[in-house]
Structure 1
């Protein structure tokens, strides 16, 4: 995670960003700390990246890389405003060379924003989004680097510009997603792969209820996503709500703020 010490909305690169709305920096830091404390209270180890001036979106640390079994596929951001974040994430893994094998990408991709992993599904598969940020050629590149099958899914609604705004992993084998965020063909692929998926509706997705983090039992999601909280509880998980209203101003929520490490 990376604290929002320099978080502002200085530019608009997704439909949620409005440069006319001011960010409450102190509140953003307080909310971020609440998310970090929630994770540690649940028994998770949180590494903290130092925030850097000039990189206001660095708080969305999920976008900086994607790791599977100790192999790290680095990010290459679409927009120049965020390009410097990739170097900060690469430096983090370089400090831990005994545990990680880092690969710099040739293709544009935005890390866990558009990649996620299910170790218990079909022997271990990667789901990968494209359509707005990540180049589909990055999916093939990631497959060669990670040695895991990569399933390409086309995003079609600009409001859900990253995979992690439209789909979330609940445990090693199960997902939840908003079907209409995907192309008809990708909807058919998801239905075939995950016939028992927990389906979300547009109001869930617009509340960033799919931008969640799950440890297989606890599902951490923002306080606005009350309906999604009821759905995951009915599915047998324990919802844990955290208020991240300020981070939503930049187009992100719980998952965007957390890069999951898979050593």
Structure 2
């Protein structure tokens, strides 16, 4: 397949999980609180992910985890970043709304153009519900659980999508409450998708704009247990990496046969809160 990658995940924000815990039952289908978080293990797993990124040439910048902000480690949700602009989120769950102010300051210190979505009164959860193809011809905003359908218009008004078609996708499964738990665009043009996550129109749109031959439908095991859509694709020269928590043997083989190098780094402590690797990084280089 022709190399389509023009941008990759080479500059990331991460938040060290010094306050991470699961204390809010039911914020998503995974937050059952059946077992307590092993915070030492969580820190080790986070450090392992950060080290993996750095080992393949990714620059990682860290935002401080504010005291008591147990979910701030999932910094993908804090903003939608595109073209040097950071559109600050308005979180659906009230306990997360305190993350906005330190996020605004962090981006201002790095000379991003910052736009605050909160005065609009719409729920919008940043890059948790935003995705783009590696050729940047298409970008998507998911809605249905954490982001409102109407936030599509706000994003389109704030962000300059010249040269990129911007679509909205309706999420319908509680197991996939964010777009980054339902689909993943890879660096050679393939797209991993869990079809039950979307309504019929949205799934057909994904196939139409990407080409049906590029769609890889994943199993419930890979979506729900392994959180594969929450992996990160990194392109570097002739290398096409996929950094993820776990993969079924069948999907692992399929991706390696297509030329991807799979880098597995454990992250299961964070699944107790309904998140994985992609939830924990924000691409700030796009």
The Cα offsets for residues 4-62 of structure 1, whole Å up to 9 and x where unpaired, read as 11111101200101234200000000000000000000101000111111210011111
Question: Counterparts of 1:88 and 1:174 in 2: how far apart (Å)?
Answer: 36
In structure 2, C-alpha distance between the alignment counterparts of 1:85 and 1:242, rounded to whole Å: 27
For residue 84 of structure 2, what is the aligned residue in structure 1? 70
Superposition pairs for residues 81-92 of structure 1, below 5 Å?
A: 81-92=95-106
* 1:11 and 2:56 correspond: no
Deviation at 1:236, TM superposition (A): 1.7
Residue-pair matches, total: 259
Determine the structure 2 residue equivalent to 1:115. 130
Instruction: Map 1:132-147; keep pairs closer than 5 Å.
Output: 132-147=145-160
Check the 8 A contact 1:204/1:227 in 2, yes or no. no
1:224: how far off?
5.4
Cα RMSD between the aligned structures?
Answer: 1.5
Q: How does the TM-score come out when normalised to structure 2? A: 0.86
Contact kept in structure 2, 1:208 and 1:225, CA below 8 Å? no
Q: Partner residue of 1:131?
A: 144
Q: Which moved more, 1:224-233 or 1:146-155?
A: 224-233
Q: 1:209 aligns with which of 210, 228, 246?
A: 228
- Structure 2: state its 5+ residue gaps: 1-13
1:190-210 per-position Cα deviation (integer Å, ceiling 9, x unaligned): 111122222212111012011
Q: Secondary structure at the match of 1:28?
A: helix
Runs of 4+ in 1 over 6 A off after TM superposition: none
> Which ranges in structure 1 are unaligned for 5 or more consecutive residues?
none
Q: 1:253 aligns to what?
A: 276
The answer to whether the 8 A contact 1:68-1:117 is kept is no
Mapped contact 2:124–2:151 kept (Cα < 8 A): yes
Counterpart contact for 2:145–2:178, Cα < 8 Å: yes
Q: CA deviation at 1:83?
A: 0.6
CA distance in 2, matches of 1:225, 1:41: 24
Alignment check: 8 A CA contact 1:16 1:250 kept: yes
Structure 2 vs 1, CA of residues 73 and 172 (structure 1 numbering), >3 Å: closer, same or farther?
farther
CA drift of 1:66 comes to: 1.4
Give the match for residue 10 of structure 2: none
Tell me which of 160, 168, 181 is aligned to 2:176: 160
Distance 2:23 2:72 in 1: 13
Aligned residue in 2 for 1:44? 58
Q: CA deviation at 1:228?
A: 3.4
**Change in 2 beyond 3 A, CA 1:225/1:91:** farther
For residues 65 and 50 of structure 1, the distance between their equivalents in structure 2, rounded to whole angstroms, comes to 15
Q: Of Structure 1 and Structure 2, which has the larger fraction of its residues in strand?
A: 2
Alignment check: 8 A CA contact 1:140 1:150 kept: no
Describe the superposition over 1:144-199 as per-residue Cα deviations: whole angstroms up to 9, x where unpaired.
Answer: 11122321111111011000000112127442211111001111111111222222
Aligned to 2:113: 101
